[in-house]
Amino acid sequence: MARCLANNGHFFVSDATTLTSYHKTPIFVPQTNAKTECPANGIDNNMMKPRVRFAPSPTGALHIGGLRTALYNYLFARKHGGTFILRIEDTDQGRYVPGAEDYIIEALKWTGLVPDEGVGFGGQNGPYRQSDRKDTYQQYAHALVQSGHAYYAFDTPEALDAQRQSIDNFTYNHTTRDGLSNSLTLGDAASQQRVDAGEPFVIRLKVLPGREIHIQDLIRGSVVFQSSELDDKVLLKADGMPTYHLANIVDDHLMNITHVIRGEEWLPSTAHHVLLYEGFGWSDTMPQFAHLPLIMKPVGNGKLSKRDGAKFGMPVFPLNWKGETDEDSFEGFREAGFLPEAVVNFLALLGWHPGNDQEIFSMEALMEAFTIENIGKSGARFDFEKAKWFNQKYIQALDTEALAARVRPLVAAKGYRTNAEYLEKAVGLMQERATVLPDFVETGYYLFEPVKSYEADAVQKKWNAAMAPFMAELIQVLHDFEPFLTLPLEEMVKKIMQEKGLKPGDVMPLLRIALVGTMKGPAVFDTAVVLGRDETIQRLQTFLQYVVDLQ
RNA sequence: GGUCCGUUCGUCUAGGGGUUAGGACACGUCCCUUUCACGGAUGAAACACGGGUUCGAUUCCCGUACGGACUACCA
């Protein structure tokens, strides 16, 4: 079938010709008849560089599932030295949300998925914003009417709603279009008259019944649809804008897209898309399809939605999004303290596997390892615990200096004043204990400001009046103890301990509480060293005062 | 309802006609550590069901069940 030939034929068509010739004479591109085997993996050696696109709709924040789609497109392009394009699908004027486009671009940049072409990135195949291509779609839509693959329809949305109300399972298709108000029933002349008179109309795809439409999906294999089951999809809306179906085919063709990698939700309408390629005479250059499994809710029922973030207490967006209302505002992975490398790694493995046991992948490693064959078929639950694990891994693996640089903004936001040297030491102390960036200034706040409170249980359990002399002596010794380093400090404390007949279990917990207020945290003497002599003494004195007051 | 897609430990998944069904997250236990974490070891934990095909099916085929997506002048 022609589909299998898609990428082969595609590259031999001069699309520069396509673009220019279309303006002179309508549409139909000369076909090539290059025929080769259908490559199983969607790519073969003779093939020119793939061109893929990420085509989000600017209706709000970019969902994490969309980001994964972008990732897979990006990886596929990079792996094969191809081109990754960002196209903004803003054909629904009613759903346009200001700021969404910027958000999408920022999210892509944050995760390192920088497009080669697209809105905000330049390129020779623009414009890349569909609202800027309105005229193009109109011409193609009308041409499709001319060639008999589409028709004008005058039924209003209200009229169709009424049909749906009164007739069970009503659809606009080959069984119902004869009873509706369109150019097939009214005749060309009458229809043209209504169009010319400025009457609102849409253009619908004319789906002929009685044939099978075969799709060779790169992930799912062969999928077959019966054309009689398909409805006459609207291609051009009454406002003159195209629907997704028309716009994506026209643009993918004009932009020389070779592989359409998109969410599974598009699989059912792919049959229509194939029909459109046929209608335009572009079958030989039709891109190959790969329909990605969906990302599901943590509980399993249904695909992950934007509300699930609040519901399950986790981010489902890359960046914070400030909507009109709190309900419409969402936390991002970035703001939750995730490293973009970790988010990318996590997302890559949500629906794709490398074929071995490797879990940690840099972007470069992903580019190398990624293949469409290794994308799974079934939906994957969104596992926030796993996301945190990846983040922890990346925090641990990061060079402490580099990590400190990422923590610095959080420290500054808290109003803490530190120097680079101290920050790095403090970060180093907490590095193995952090899963997200805010842990450094929240769990580890005591490295930047005095202890706020002492764990009452621990104090009560470990403190007794006999400890006071020990603490007093320790404070005294500390004043001129040299060198103020982990091991010497430890030796010194042990010595005093022994002199007083105390055991580590009596002493260490108290020192810990005195220094950080809690029983958890980095090693006591390491903490003392980072805090420094003065602060250590200060905290011991404060604590001693606190327990004395308690008595 | 219709169309299409899917189904291996709780989760992400590897595997694939004959395996002790492997790894990772999470969980349990132990070690390291007088804390927490990291790290190490270890344990529990899965082929949805029913028919075929076959000497043999978790693997191939067909059903069923269950799950999901789509079914707009939204993408």
Domains (ranges, CATH) in chain A? 2-126+245-292 (3.40.50.620), 398-447 (1.10.8.70), 456-550 (1.10.10.350)
Q: How far is the CA of A377 from the C1' of B21 (A)?
A: 20
Taking the C1' atom of every nucleotide in all shown strands and the CA of A223, the nearest one is: B4
- pLDDT of amino acid A549: 87
Taking the C1' atom of every nucleotide in all shown strands and the CA of A354, the nearest one is: B14
Does residue A490 approach strand B to less than 7 Å at its CB? no
Question: Is residue A520 within 8 Å of A512, Cβ to Cβ?
Answer: no
Spell out which residues of A between 23 and 82 contact strand B, using CB within 7 Å. 55-57, 59
Task: Determine what percent of chain A falls in helix, strand and coil, rounding each to the nearest 5.
Answer: 50, 10, 40
Taking the C1' atom of every nucleotide in all shown strands and the CA of A299, the nearest one is: B11
The mean pLDDT of A313-332, rounded to a whole number, is: 95
ipTM over 0.90: yes
Does residue A501 approach strand B to less than 7 Å at its CB? no
- pLDDT of amino acid A466: 84
The mean pLDDT of A446-454, rounded to a whole number, is: 97
The mean pLDDT of A34-57, rounded to a whole number, is: 66
Q: How far is the CA of A309 from the C1' of B65 (A)?
A: 31
Q: Is the pLDDT of residue A347 over 60?
A: yes
Does residue A155 approach strand B to less than 7 Å at its CB? yes
- pLDDT of amino acid A39: 46
The mean pLDDT of A215-224, rounded to a whole number, is: 95
- pLDDT of amino acid A343: 98
Identify the residue whose Cα has the smallest distance to the C1' of B6.
A378
Question: Is residue A319 within 8 Å of A298, Cβ to Cβ?
Answer: no
The mean pLDDT of A21-42, rounded to a whole number, is: 34
- Active site residues per annotation of A: 306
Q: How far is the CA of A389 from the C1' of B44 (A)?
A: 22
pLDDT band at A550 (very low <50, low <70, confident <90, very high): confident
Which positions on chain B have an atom < 7 Å from some protein CB? 1-8, 10-15, 22-26, 33-39, 67-75
Q: How far is the CA of A265 from the C1' of B60 (A)?
A: 29
- pLDDT of amino acid A535: 97
Spell out which residues of A between 161 and 200 contact strand B, using CB within 7 Å. 164, 169, 171-172, 200
Question: Is residue A71 within 8 Å of A41, Cβ to Cβ?
Answer: no
Average pLDDT score, chain A? 91
SS3 state at A446: helix
pLDDT band at A126 (very low <50, low <70, confident <90, very high): confident
Question: Is residue A483 within 8 Å of A466, Cβ to Cβ?
Answer: no
**Nearest by Cα to A542 from A454, A422, A481, A448:** A454
The mean pLDDT of A500-506, rounded to a whole number, is: 91
pLDDT band at A330 (very low <50, low <70, confident <90, very high): very high
Tell me if the bond preceding A483 is cis, omega within 30° of 0. yes
Taking the C1' atom of every nucleotide in all shown strands and the CA of A355, the nearest one is: B14
- pLDDT of amino acid A447: 98
Q: How far is the CA of A358 from the C1' of B18 (A)?
A: 29
The mean pLDDT of A345-365, rounded to a whole number, is: 96
The mean pLDDT of A79-95, rounded to a whole number, is: 97
Q: How far is the CA of A264 from the C1' of B50 (A)?
A: 30
Does residue A443 approach strand B to less than 7 Å at its CB? no
- In this structure, the number of other CB atoms found within 10 A of the CB of residue A156 comes to 13
- Could you give the CA distance from residue A54 to residue A69 in angstroms, rounded to a whole number? 7
pLDDT band at A407 (very low <50, low <70, confident <90, very high): very high
SS3 state at A524: helix
Spell out which residues of A between 313 and 352 contact strand B, using CB within 7 Å. 349-351
- pLDDT of amino acid A42: 55
- Could you give the CA distance from residue A526 to residue A523 in angstroms, rounded to a whole number? 5
Does residue A209 approach strand B to less than 7 Å at its CB? no
A6 vs A298 pLDDT, higher one: A298
CA A215 to chain centre: 27
Does residue A498 approach strand B to less than 7 Å at its CB? no
pLDDT band at A107 (very low <50, low <70, confident <90, very high): very high
For the ranges A26-35, A122-131, A171-180, the lowest mean pLDDT is seen at: A26-35
- In this structure, the number of other CB atoms found within 10 A of the CB of residue A267 comes to 18
The mean pLDDT of A145-155, rounded to a whole number, is: 97
- pLDDT of amino acid A47: 58
Question: Is residue A287 within 8 Å of A2, Cβ to Cβ?
Answer: no
A95 vs A7 pLDDT, higher one: A95
pLDDT band at A43 (very low <50, low <70, confident <90, very high): low
In total, chain A counts a number of residues equal to 551
Considering just the CA atoms, what is the radius of gyration of chain A in Å? 32
Does residue A458 approach strand B to less than 7 Å at its CB? no
The mean pLDDT of A401-417, rounded to a whole number, is: 97
Q: How far is the CA of A349 from the C1' of B24 (A)?
A: 11
